[in-house]
Chains A and B, each alone.
Chain A
Amino acid sequence: MKPEISTETKVQSPKKPLRKRFNIKEEYLWGYLFVLPPILGFMLFAFLPMLFSIYVSFTAFDLYNPAVFNGLDNYKRLLFEDDLFRKTIINTFYAALGIPLSIVLSLIIAMALNQKIKGLSFFRTAFFLPTVCSIVALTLLWRWIFNSDFGLLNIMLGSIGIDGPAWLSSETWAMPAMIIQGVWSGLGMGMILYLAALQSVNPALYEAADIDGANGWNKFRYITIPSISPTTFFLLITSTITALQDFQRFMIMTEGGPNYATTTVVYYLFLNAFRYMEMGYASAMAWVLGLIILVITIINFKLSKRWVHY
């Protein structure tokens, strides 16, 4: 028996490096094959379109005739001549004011739902309802809730003696109405993510704080907030990106009006590209917005080092 084993090892040892290299190469091959589809999709549907849109942004292009190079004209027009673009930027950031409100509210809801209470799944479903529903159905519904004459909101306000405004047809109130609608529809996702985060906070931390005699506020401030900060960060980043690109609900509910009070950058971009057939101009707009989002995301990442604890 003994010599047999030693022969085997002797025979195998010179072959081993070869076989190992073969195995590794095989792993490379399969690895590349497995990641090929998404990478190919990325090249075809993201990277090439990106390069092309940079080029188009320096041209006048109506989709049907060949693009005509016009240098920085689109960007000049965008930044210095188009007052409407400036207005849509302001509108977009105004609409984004709903983000902090939504984050705080979803944390409060998640904390209330993180206790051992009855009807948990009922409450969870109720708060998650808007997330499951289609944007079209929701916005149609809200258009009607905000109706000045027979809308639900003003009738409810009327019952407590408040004369409600003509929400969506008022230049002053259209955006606050859209913020209310946005916060309402975004609560579910934030709630679910915070709930998951709260459930994973180390209970030993609270027990230690109890022994030290910490009160509820201190526990919240020094344990809960830091522990869930990665989730807060995730929500902040994703909801900022979504909010700055938001336009579908504006398109259905207000059509950007009244008097462009609710025209967001992306809705304006959409109008330019697909209604006025100014593809070059729309592409320039996309890149200006893309750069703004990039800068905000980078600032968010840099600041996160001060308050996000992993």
Chain B
Amino acid sequence: MAQKVEVTWYQNRQKRAVIKRVFSYIFLTIGAAIMALPFLWMVSTSLKSPGAIFTIPPEFIPREWRWDNYVRVFTDADLLLGFKNTLMIIIPTTIVGLFTSSLAAFAFAKMRFPGRDMLFFALIATMMLPGIVTLVPQFIIFRDLGWLDTFKPLMIPGMFGAAMAVFFLRQFFMTIPSDLIDAAKIDGLSYFGIFLKIMAPLAKPAIVTQGILGLLAGYNDFMGPLIYLNSPENFTLQLVLASFRGYYTSEWTLIMAGSVLALIPTLLAFFFAQKQLIEGITMTGLKG
């Protein structure tokens, strides 16, 4: 009798697990469809003729495939220049910023010097302060330095290292045993050598994660370029995309073609970095 009860309990549990799984699939499929639908719509629109986007009911498969929309994005506007400008800003900034941030993160996590924790707290406090508070004075500083309409305001501050990156990387360095450092010291390695040869290789997942987040943020930054850049030849990708709207108000197909092209690099970055990204987050302090 007792055994029979146990068996039905087990069977019920199995049954419930199956039902739960079916519901999960339905939920996830509907959810993923809602998330992805706008993108499919975007791709479809980017291939339509200007008139075809107004047809009701809308057609997902264009009746007339207009591949030349993708050509016109380059001939009618300077998408390529925008892309080039963006890369020229974000690649050096991210590399130098990663270096300074991780070096500081190492010092905050593993080295001893008076006032260390106070300095760290001051740095972290900048994350809580709304960026907009310092926007106006920053603008004035950059104006007085003669940096307006150059890439400098978008590059130089980032190269000093970012508070968020220092925080994120410090959490990771904290988990690396100090014994390794002591052993390296006995072997006569300098502090910089310890960082370069021991800490940085061990922290690779976290550094890569931070690098990708930094590149994404720079690539998608709209506000910074909008405030500091004026001349069209300095426009970043995001500014070129935004300017389509002003100059080509009726040309939705071009806007969408430009947007699809702008997505490709970030999507590729996510595909290749997906595992690294999620593992990076799991390994650091954010998991709670």
A84 proximal to B (CB < 8 A): no
Set of chain A residues within 8 Å of B34, measured between Cβ atoms? 184
Taking a contact as CB atoms under 8 Å apart, the answer to whether A241 and B130 are in contact is yes
Stretch at the interface among A12-20, A169-177, A187-195: A187-195
Beyond A121-B274, A140-B259, whether A132 also contacts B32 by CB under 8 A is no
Rounded to whole Å, the gap between the CB of B225 and the closest CB of chain A is: 10
Taking a contact as CB atoms under 8 Å apart, the answer to whether A50 and B252 are in contact is no
Taking a contact as CB atoms under 8 Å apart, the answer to whether B31 and A127 are in contact is yes
With beta carbons under 8 angstroms apart, the residue of B57, B130, B160, B242 that contacts A45 is: B160
B247 proximal to A (CB < 8 A): no
Taking a contact as CB atoms under 8 Å apart, the answer to whether A129 and B36 are in contact is yes
In the complex, residue of chain A having the shortest beta-carbon distance to the beta carbon of B142:
A45
CA distance A195 to B160 in the complex (A): 32
Beyond A197-B288, A294-B128, whether A150 also contacts B58 by CB under 8 A is yes
Taking a contact as CB atoms under 8 Å apart, the answer to whether A109 and B31 are in contact is yes
B137 proximal to A (CB < 8 A): yes
Beyond A28-B113, A38-B161, A290-B130, whether A125 also contacts B270 by CB under 8 A is yes
Beyond A124-B274, A200-B287, A245-B130, whether A34 also contacts B136 by CB under 8 A is no
Stretch at the interface among A1-9, A68-76, A111-119: A111-119
Set of chain B residues within 8 Å of A125, measured between Cβ atoms? 270-271, 274
Beyond A113-B28, A125-B274, whether A231 also contacts B286 by CB under 8 A is yes
What is the total number of residues of chain B having a CB less than 8 Å from a CB of chain A? 95
With beta carbons under 8 angstroms apart, the residue of B38, B136, B281 that contacts A196 is: B281
With beta carbons under 8 angstroms apart, the residue of B57, B133, B263 that contacts A286 is: B133
With beta carbons under 8 angstroms apart, the residue of A46, A126, A196, A241 that contacts B35 is: A126
B269 proximal to A (CB < 8 A): yes
A248 proximal to B (CB < 8 A): yes
Q: Which of B228-268 contact A (CB under 8 A)?
A: 237-238, 241-242, 245, 252, 255-256, 259, 262-263, 266-267
Taking a contact as CB atoms under 8 Å apart, the answer to whether A136 and B28 are in contact is no
Set of chain A residues within 8 Å of B238, measured between Cβ atoms? 134-136
Taking a contact as CB atoms under 8 Å apart, the answer to whether B112 and A24 are in contact is yes
In the complex, residue of chain A having the shortest beta-carbon distance to the beta carbon of B39:
A129
Rounded to whole Å, the gap between the CB of A296 and the closest CB of chain B is: 11
Beyond A45-B157, A152-B41, A196-B282, whether A127 also contacts B132 by CB under 8 A is no
CA distance A42 to B118 in the complex (A): 13
In the complex, residue of chain A having the shortest beta-carbon distance to the beta carbon of B141:
A49
In the complex, residue of chain A having the shortest beta-carbon distance to the beta carbon of B164:
A238
Binding site for A on B (CB under 8 A): 20-21, 24-25, 27-28, 31-32, 34-39, 41-42, 45, 53-58, 100-101, 103-104, 106-108, 111-114, 116, 119, 122-123, 126, 128-141, 143, 157, 159-163, 166, 190-192, 195, 216, 219-220, 222-223, 227, 237-238, 241-242, 245, 252, 255-256, 259, 262-263, 266-267, 269-271, 274, 277-278, 281-282, 286-288
16 more CB-based (< 8 A) A-B contacts, given A27-B112, A38-B104: A30-B191, A34-B104, A35-B107, A40-B160, A41-B157, A44-B141, A45-B141, A45-B157, A127-B32, A134-B220, A134-B238, A137-B262, A140-B241, A184-B35, A231-B287, A290-B130
Binding site for B on A (CB under 8 A): 24, 27-28, 30-32, 34-42, 44-46, 48-50, 52-53, 56, 63, 108-109, 112-113, 115, 117, 121-130, 132-138, 140-142, 144-145, 150, 152, 155, 159, 184, 187, 192-193, 195-197, 199-200, 227-231, 234, 241, 244-245, 248, 252, 266, 269-270, 273-274, 279, 282-283, 286-287, 289-290, 293-294, 297, 310
What are some 16 contacts across the A-B interface (CB < 8 A)?
A27-B191, A30-B107, A30-B192, A38-B123, A38-B162, A44-B141, A53-B136, A108-B27, A124-B274, A125-B270, A128-B270, A129-B267, A132-B269, A150-B54, A197-B287, A199-B282
